[in-house]
Chains A and B, each alone.
Chain A
Amino acid sequence: KAGVTQTPRYLIKTRGQQVTLSCSPISGHRSVSWYQQTPGQGLQFLFEYFSETQRNKGNFPGRFSGRQFSNSRSEMNVSTLELGDSALYLCASSVPGTAGGYTFGSGTRLTVV
């Protein structure tokens, strides 16, 4: 079965711009979580969506937002980009309420210049 698909794979944006990243989970996985990965901070939890509702949120400023659609696909948006937002953004899907772990996508590498 198809894995978790993230698009685009790479992005270069300028400070102040906004960006939208997309994630299609594994079929049947209704929970989608987003993480930011940087060399200095490791994996930082952004938010989790289930049934089009944000269930949990990490400690990121309001410039980071997300949403989930009825087909479980999810998008995250970062507005007013800063240089420090350069990172690998990972999407992970799972079956909610189980502890079988995540299936991660390959990530979107965002570079802010």
Chain B
Amino acid sequence: GEDVEQSLFLSVREGDSSVINCTYTDSSSTYLYWYKQEPGAGLQLLTYIFSNMDMKQDQRLTVLLNKKDKHLSLRIADTQTGDSAIYFCAESIRRVSGTYKYIFGTGTRLKVLA
């Protein structure tokens, strides 16, 4: 089956690191993504990782992928109040037709306390 799970809430203090976790069930995923959604806005692609990679770093963002456990995490270093948002994990699965199917998690609401 295809399912992506995330915890619903995370609260951290400004300046601390945030770690948002995600587990997925489909081992045929090609890429895994992290999106950010701010109030009243659509989803913004933050970063993505190819399924044969273990880690990807992009400025304050670090993505870790454990393919054996089907676990993906997003670490935000030096978390700022502007990072408060909902974060979605997603995986893409290539269909036979060549198009990609995207499965989104339920989203983790990150609240950064000043």
Mark A residues whose CB is within 8 Å of B: 4, 6, 31, 33, 42-43, 45, 48, 50, 55-56, 90, 92, 94, 96-107
Contact = CB atoms under 8 A, between A and B. Distances in A.
A107 B42 contact: yes
Nearest to B97: A55
A98 B102 CA distance: 12
Chain B: interface residue count, which band?
20 to 34
Contact of A102 (B43, B97, B107): B43
5 contacts: A45-B102, A101-B35, A101-B92, A102-B43, A107-B42
Contacts of B45: 101-104
A107 B42 CA distance: 6
Question: Chain B at the A interface: mostly helix, strand, loop or mixed?
Answer: strand
A78 to B, nearest CB: 19
A56 B44 contact: no
Interface of B: 30-31, 33, 35, 40-45, 48, 88, 90, 92, 94-95, 97-102, 104-107
Nearest to B44: A104
A100 B48 contact: yes
A4 B41 CA distance: 12
A43 B106 CA distance: 7
B1 to A, nearest CB: 14
Given A42-B104, A48-B99, A4 B33 contact: no
B48 A4 contact: no
B9 to A, nearest CB: 13
B4 to A, nearest CB: 10
